[in-house]
Amino acid sequence: MQSSVSLVALAGSVALASSAVADVVAFDQMSGQPSTTWSIPSGGGSAASTGSRFLGMAVNLGPNNNVITGFDTTLLNNSGAAINFQAGWQVALNYWIYNQWTPSSTTSPAFGDLAGSGSVIAANFTEPLSFANNTFFFFTQNSSPGTGLVPPAASTPGVAIKPVTITSAGPVGIVLNWTINRNDGAGFVQLGGLTQLIVGGASALAPTVGSNAAAGPNFGYYRSASGESNGNFQGNSFRQIGANSGVMLRVYSQDIPAPGALALLGLAGVAGSRRRR
């Protein structure tokens, strides 16, 4: 069910990762979403909770977007208590990107043919900050902490990753997970309730770029409802909270021309070189 908890945008001193190149938006279920559709995924509520540590979706990317370069997303504290960040602490976004999606209601894996995975330090805390329970922060290039407004899409992602090439026609599986480094020698560790916002309900909007690959009108997303911790989900961990259910997410990509367009560019280059002789 959709949470009725009031969500407050987190304002703080964090250094966000950014990309050095201009990209294009390949999938967008963040732009224009009314705040009334933002929701806390079930499965959190304590530091030991595992049900929402991992979130994911099966998506169809926009045309010619076959090299994923980063994400705009949210960091949500639903651990049941404030997280008191200290100077030197970090949070990292872990990601898994798959070439295949197999919808099912069984324990079979939802995604297959891993295209790439990794971990990116998304924020370095430079001073103490209290991250209250049921508050969140936008990780986008154009984030506006404390406004409660969805930041607009930009030319670079809020969290840039090592480019991952998609080798299938899709749908593409995307799985995200946050971890925290308390600078205590333990490295990056999981924390229950450290997750992302989801969207859904009567006023929720469909993606403005790309599409959710699940069946409409409710579509849907995955969460680690069965305690999954390996960057994939069982088929029966698929969830919906009403119309246009999904993770509040933008996916960025390099806009790669179709093979025919590349061939034409090659011919133009040959013709140009001939003229210069």
Closest CA to 118 of 87, 147, 150, 94: 94
Where are any strands of DSSP class E within 19-150? 24-28, 38-39, 54-60, 67-77, 83-85, 90-101, 111-125, 129-131, 135-139
Cα–Cα nearest to 40, from 131, 134, 178, 180: 134
- Amino acid sitting at position 269: G
Q: Which two tokens stand for residue 145?
A: 């902490």
How many Å apart are CA 20 and CA 23, to the nearest integer?
9
Q: Compute the distance between CA of residue 64 and CA of residue 78 in angstroms, rounded to an integer.
A: 37
Distance of CA 250 to the CA centre of its chain: 6
- pTM of the model as a whole: 0.87
What is the pLDDT at residue 64? 80
- State the pLDDT at residue 124: 94
Cβ atoms of 139 and 75 closer than 8 Å: yes
What is the residue-level pLDDT of the chain in tens, covering all 277 positions?
A: 333 334 454 544 444 444 445 789 999 999 999 999 999 999 999 989 999 999 999 999 998 889 999 999 999 999 999 999 999 999 999 999 999 999 999 999 999 999 999 999 999 999 999 999 999 999 998 776 656 678 888 888 999 999 999 999 999 999 999 999 999 999 999 999 999 999 999 999 999 999 999 999 999 999 999 999 999 999 999 999 999 999 999 999 986 554 544 444 343 333 333 333 3
How much is the pLDDT for 21? 52
Q: Helix (H, G, I), strand (E, B), or coil: what is residue 94?
A: strand
What local confidence, expressed as pLDDT, does residue 149 receive?
76
Task: Tell me what pLDDT residue 63 has.
Answer: 86
Type of residue numbered 233: F
Query: Would you state the pLDDT for residue 85?
Result: 95
CB neighbours of residue 187 within 10 Å = 12
